């Protein structure tokens, strides 16, 4: 069942200071306003040299227009020639089920490249090189990326949790 199926067409608030907080807020919003248990997720890119930015502001880092090209430009400009390019993608899935909230985290470590590489994926994929790989997320096939991505890792944890409930 999707948000559209339950009549939810509004933008769900994301006003928490953490990725985990936003994921929980969105799931709780659906329960509070539509009476449905659900799961939601929030994802961010955390860059060490930028004190964890863009973090919860990843989608709108360069403005509310949520433009990926502008977001990457801003990150690359802020990093400049900084040699500390360590970063990670983090996803938190929040599940509100039977009055309890559970969270599942997926992280993939890597670094920010000096320039875009590849034209696949979305968001910051062209500038993110996962640790242990020689191509950016944007250069990987969807299958390659889904094997190691932060979202896939969080989803596997959620899947395992739900499987153990049965």
* CATH number of the domain encompassing residue 113: 3.90.950.10
How much is the pTM?
0.93
8 Å CB contact between 102 and 94: yes
Residue range(s) defining the domain that contains residue 63: 4-165
8 Å CB contact between 75 and 115: no
> Cα separation of 152 and 90, whole Å?
11
Tens digit of each residue's pLDDT (9 = 90 or more) over 58-94:
999 999 888 999 999 999 999 999 999 999 999 999 9
- DSSP states of 32-78 as a string? HHH---EEEEEEEEEEGGGTT-EETTGGGTT-TT--HHHHHHHHHHH
81 is catalytic: no
Residue 34: pLDDT over 90: yes
8 Å CB contact between 130 and 109: yes
The number of distinct structural domains making up the chain is: 1
Nearest in space to 104 (alpha carbons), one of 113, 96, 94, 112: 94
Q: Burial, 20: exposed, middle or buried (Cβ in 10 Å; 0-12, 13-18, 19+)?
A: middle
Where does the pLDDT of residue 2 fall: very low under 50, low under 70, confident under 90, or very high at 90 and above?
Answer: confident
Q: Which of 42, 81, 134, 143 is catalytic?
A: 42
Give the model's pLDDT for residue 65: 87
């Amino acid at each position: 069942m999707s948000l559209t199926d339950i009549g939810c067409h509004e933008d769900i608030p994301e006003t928490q200071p953490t990725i985990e907080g936003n994921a929980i807020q969105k799931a709780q919003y659906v329960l509070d306003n539509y009476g449905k248990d659900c799961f939601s997720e929030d994802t961010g890119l955390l860059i060490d040299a930028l004190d964890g930015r863009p973090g919860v502001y990843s989608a709108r880092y360069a403005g509310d227009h949520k433009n990926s090209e502008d977001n990457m430009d801003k990150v690359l400009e802020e990093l400049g020639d900084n040699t500390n390019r360590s970063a990670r993608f983090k996803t938190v899935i929040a599940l509100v089920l039977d009055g309890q909230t559970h969270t599942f985290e997926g992280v993939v470590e890597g670094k920010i490249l000096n320039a875009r590489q590849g034209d696949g994926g979305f968001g910051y994929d062209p500038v993110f090189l996962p640790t242990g790989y020689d191509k950016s997320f944007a250069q990987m096939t969807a299958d390659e990326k889904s094997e190691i991505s932060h979202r896939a890792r969080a989803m596997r944890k959620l899947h395992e949790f739900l499987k153990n409930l049965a």
